[in-house]
Copies of this chain bind each other. A is one copy, B any other.
C-alpha cells in the first residue's frame, strides 16, 4: 500500500472552464506504479473549482461558463460580499456548486476516466492567477 502526495500550481488561466488533465498528470508520473487505488485532486481555493466533463468539443466549456453566469448572476442586487468586484461572491457560490475536489479511480497506472471525460479547472475570477492543487494517490 502506497501514498503518493504532490502539491503544485497550475498555470494561470483566464476566466472560464479549461481542460487540465494533461497538466495535472505531468506532475504525478508516480501514478504509473499504482495498479488499483484512488486519486484525490484538491484545489486550495474558494473562487475556482474542479469538475469532470467532456474533453472534446470546446463549446461544452463555453456553454458551461454561459450557464453558470446566468444561474449565478453578477448583476443581482442581493449580494453583500462584493468588496473585490461583481465576480467576488459569485465565484464563491460557483465554487461550492461545482466543488473543490475530484476523486477518481486509478487502474493499471492510469486515471480510470471514461472515454469522453476530462478534468476541468473552473476559473471563476476575472483575474484568478495561478491555482494550487494537491494530488493524493492511495493504492497498491
Interface: A63 (CB within 8 A)? yes
Interface: A25 (CB within 8 A)? no
* B46 near A54: Cβ-Cβ < 8 Å: yes
* A116 near B46: Cβ-Cβ < 8 Å: yes
A107 and B80 CA atoms in complex are apart in Å by: 35
Please give, as numbers and ranges, the residues of chain B lying within 8 Å of A62 by CB-CB distance: 80
* Residues of A in contact, count (CB < 8 Å): 63
A40 and B105 CA atoms in complex are apart in Å by: 8
* A134 near B116: Cβ-Cβ < 8 Å: no
Are A103 and B105 CB-contacts (below 8 A) given A81-B57, A139-B138? no
A7 and B66 CA atoms in complex are apart in Å by: 34
> Which listed residue, B70, B80, B112, touches A44 by the CB 8 Å rule?
B112
> Which listed residue, B92, B97, B107, B138, touches A97 by the CB 8 Å rule?
B97
Are A78 and B70 CB-contacts (below 8 A) given A46-B54, A46-B114? yes
* B105 near A42: Cβ-Cβ < 8 Å: yes
* B72 near A100: Cβ-Cβ < 8 Å: no
Interface: A132 (CB within 8 A)? yes
What are the interface flags for A69-91 relative to B under an 8 Å C-beta threshold, 1 for contact and 0 otherwise?
01110001011110100000100
